[in-house]
Amino acid sequence: MKIDTAAVIKRMQIRNGNPRMEKMALELIDIALGVARPKAIYRISQAKVIDRGTVDIDGIQFTSRALSKCLKDQPTVYPLLATAGQELDELPTVKGDLMRQFTLDTIKMVILFSASEYLTNYIKEKHSLNGAAALNPGEFDDFPLSQQKPLFALFGGAEKQIGVALTSGGALKPTKSRSGILFPNETGFMSCKLCTMLKCPGRRAAYNPEVFKEYIGTP
């Protein structure tokens, strides 16, 4: 496994060189390389749009206007789960050392992004998709965290193979995990265009009110 050191340093915003922080980042990356085991699973599912806000995927109902719009004429979709793994969460913590905690968190985030990207590319290649996009429960009100429940129901317990669990509040455990529904898309659609979460570290495109109107309706 590789960890993108430059991405960790960039996300930590170590500007103009901060030897102490950079040294800590490199040391923790080294430790992470020894223990981190990112994992992912996906399934091939059949989707049917029921109406403007409801979609049936393998007999399980999802409620989202954006999902309904995205899956129109897309009978095959790829529900997925990816995680940075629980191994890094098990590293001993140093009480009060917030900088170490922040650095480890950043490393886990970079590992999760890499695992997600790897899985997306794998699915695209394996199923000959020219383009793909994904919607992830919890990104915006139209596709809220409560939609994790039907998503996990699709996996029917297979998520245990990668050590991911859903809490009663709809959050993922380990926290550096991701769930979503990937679908073929060649239009350049990205869920970030519908999302107003300004401080998201994973943003890939700017919020676009026109796209929001088209996919969800008037805000």
Q: Which residues bind ligand SF4 (CB under 6 A)?
A: 136, 139, 191-192, 195, 197, 200, 202-203
Q: Reduce the DSSP state of residue 187 to 3 states and report it.
A: coil
Q: Which is nearer to ligand SF4, 110 or 192 (CB)?
A: 192
CB of 156 to ligand SF4, least distance (A): 26
Q: Which is nearer to ligand SF4, 24 or 142 (CB)?
A: 142
Q: How many CB atoms lie within 10 A of CB 170?
A: 15
CB of 191 to ligand SF4, least distance (A): 4
Radius of gyration of the chain (CA): 18
CB of 188 to ligand SF4, least distance (A): 14
Q: Give the phi and the psi of residue 166 in degrees, each rounded to 5.
A: -105, 125
Q: How far apart are CA 140 and CA 64, in angstroms?
A: 10
Q: CA distances (Å), 216 to each of 53, 66, 201, in order?
A: 9, 5, 23
Q: How far apart are the first and last CA of the chain?
A: 42
Q: Which is nearer to ligand SF4, 24 or 194 (CB)?
A: 194
Considering Cα of 63, then 68, then 70, then 74, what sign does the dihedral take?
A: positive
Q: Which is nearer to ligand SF4, 163 or 202 (CB)?
A: 202
Q: Which is nearer to ligand SF4, 68 or 136 (CB)?
A: 136
Q: Is 172 exposed, middle or buried (0-12, 13-18, 19+ CB in 10 A)?
A: buried
CB of 143 to ligand SF4, least distance (A): 9
